[in-house]
Amino acid sequence: MHVLFVLSIDCNERQYEWPVEQPKLCCDKCPPGKHVVRRSITTCEIECESCTTNLFNEKYNVQQTCEFCENCDKKNMEYISHCNVTHNAVCRCKDGYKCKDQSCKQCVPISPFTTKPTLPPSTTALKPGAYHTDTVWFLVIIAILCAGIALVVVTKIKPFLHWIKAKHGYLLAKESVPVPPFSEDEEVSKPVQEVRGKCDV
């Protein structure tokens, strides 16, 4: 009885197994900054070529193309580090701006009521300042509404106050009409004249 032993291949991250079916070899990949131009179908022979401008590959690979670099020349965005053949560019929002979403492809203005710093693109935590901002805006809106109502009340009540003042002044004027003093003739009561005559029997 014959026993057939199949040796397993344990290639590292810099290598790939070849052939695809029933691999027997560990072949070298292209290094970071390069991509595959030609590869033999029978042996481990491989030809690599460097990435061109605005392209990169960060890892050992068997890709036929390089990856496109991130563009940080967008509105309100700036470079932390520029792209090269082995590393992608790293972008961030300029001062006063924050990432619109987790992908951070667009920067938006930070609210003046929010004092929390911009979270990095990889962070998924909720922003504590968001609730504070909503509360402040709510109070501002309430204050504006109260001021508007007060203005309307003052505007509407002003004619009424003028009418009250005019009416009140008219009543005072009516009540304070001076009464002319009595003349001496009117003040001295005339004596009752006695009628002298015979009494009726």
**Is the alpha carbon torsion for 21, 22, 24, 29 positive or negative?**
positive
Q: In this model, does residue 5 exceed pLDDT 50?
A: no
pLDDT given for residue 135 in this prediction: 75
Question: Which residues sit opposite 34 in a β-bridge?
Answer: 50
13/127: higher pLDDT? 13
CA–CA dist 25, 31 (Å, integer): 18
pLDDT tens readout for residues 82-104: 999 999 999 999 999 999 999 89
Of the ranges 9-18, 126-135, 160-169, the best mean pLDDT one: 9-18
Question: Which residues sit opposite 99 in a β-bridge?
Answer: 107
Of the ranges 134-138, 147-151, 153-157, 161-165, the best mean pLDDT one: 147-151
Nearest Cα residue to 83 out of 66, 69, 73, 72: 69
Q: Which domains does the chain have, with CATH numbers?
A: 15-67 (2.10.50.10)
**What is the arithmetic mean of pLDDT over 61-80?**
95
Q: In this model, does residue 158 exceed pLDDT 80?
A: no
pLDDT given for residue 162 in this prediction: 72
Going from the C-alpha of 167 to that of each of 153, 157, 163, 164, 177, the distances in angstroms are: 21, 15, 6, 5, 16
Record the pTM: 0.49
pLDDT given for residue 192 in this prediction: 46
Q: What tokens appear for 66 in the block?
A: 């390089």
